[in-house]
Structure 1
Amino acid sequence: MRGYSLPSLAFASSLIAAPACAQAPLTEKNVSMGLSLAIIQGALDQCTKDGYKVSVVIVDKSGNVAASVRGDGTPPHTLEFARLKAYTARTRNQTSLATMKQMDDPAFAFLRQIPNVVGVGGGVPIRAGNEVIGGVGVSGAPGGEKDEVCANAGLAKVADALK
């Protein structure tokens, strides 16, 4: 056979003979649209009750936006900042407030170099049991701690579905 060496043919035949389990699709938990909308509504309800105009973003397991709402009367930056907070919570598997505290530690200075990771409160991971399947980010309240209260209120609304 021209152009093919014996080792390359052996490798190609080993790929064809790979076990069937390697071809099975992945099954994983992720946020759904209904879950996203319920979390958003719970967060908006809490912030409205507290007198804050906010934007809320949900990211999925991969860190991509699953749903977002720019609240009435909010500045344009709140939607993007909410996304960054949600992304931070998802990728760091902790609140963005906890990430903010880590960034003060010189041992975690590398966190400042990770694109789209922010150190400010308002982002909370979405967990199905112990597995992080997304993140919720809230922006617009006067302080990240207040944004985080609203994010947690949204998660409380769907707590039974996440058990």
Structure 2
Amino acid sequence: MLIRGATAVALAAASLTVASATNAQLVSHKDLSLATALAIATGAAEHCKAQKFTVSITVVGREAQILVQLRGDGSPPHTIENSYRRAYTALTYRKPTVDVEKEVRADPLDPLVHLTLVMPAQGGLPIKVNGDTIGAVAVSGSPAGQTDQGCAQAGLDKVADQLK
């Protein structure tokens, strides 16, 4: 009797799986193009260069994959990794890294901060389209996080019309 009940449950589960598979749909979303990512990175680089800052810039896509990474002439070696980690953090938290930094200062036990790539330091911004985070941009190497963030924002401003 118990075997028949288990068999009936298994058959019901199998039929649900088949039914859901036939109704399955592909996920549709916007992604950053290489051209847009490059425009963001160069916009950020130009803004920093105009202020005589030697920086590195990273633009990542929605899966944290590097789309564009630039290292300015004379930029210290650590800035390339820092810019990636800030972009990763902005993407992961879906908010500017300055906000993440404030949250971590308020709650140092935040478990996400212990992830290898999370860097709660100002300079990273999420890239959003209609509230959907499709990537992030981050800068490292200027004299302060505020100026890093300003350069990242300049990159986003350069393509604002494309992010609507």
- Whether TM exceeds 0.5 here: the answer is yes
| Paired residues of 1:87 and 1:135 also in contact (CA < 8 A) | yes
Work out the CA distance in 2 between the residues paired with 1:65 and 1:87. Answer: 9
Work out the CA distance in 2 between the residues paired with 1:105 and 1:91. Answer: 19
Q: Percent identity?
A: 36
Q: Which residue of 1 aligns with 2:68?
A: 67
Q: Which residue of 1 aligns with 2:126?
A: 125
Q: TM-score, normalised by structure 2?
A: 0.88
Could you list the runs of 5+ residues in structure 1 that have no partner in the other structure?
A: none
Q: Which residue of 2 aligns with 1:20?
A: 22
How large is the RMSD of aligned CA atoms in angstroms? Answer: 1.9
Q: Which residue of 1 aligns with 2:83?
A: 82
Q: Which residue of 1 aligns with 2:3?
A: none
Q: Which aligned runs of 4 or more in structure 1 are off by greater than 6 angstroms?
A: none
Work out the CA distance in 1 between the residues paired with 2:22 and 2:11. Answer: 20
| Paired residues of 1:137 and 1:151 also in contact (CA < 8 A) | yes
Q: Secondary structure at the match of 1:104?
A: helix
Give the deviation of 1:63 after TM superposition.
1.7
Could you list the runs of 5+ residues in structure 2 that have no partner in the other structure?
A: 1-5
Q: Which residue of 1 aligns with 2:58?
A: 57
Give the deviation of 1:12 after TM superposition.
2.7
Work out the CA distance in 1 between the residues paired with 2:138 and 2:101. Answer: 14
Corresponding pairs, count: 159
Deviates more, 1:127-136 or 1:149-158: 127-136
Q: Secondary structure at the match of 1:57?
A: strand
Q: TM-score, normalised by structure 1?
A: 0.89
Give the deviation of 1:107 after TM superposition.
6.9
Q: Which residue of 2 aligns with 1:147?
A: 148
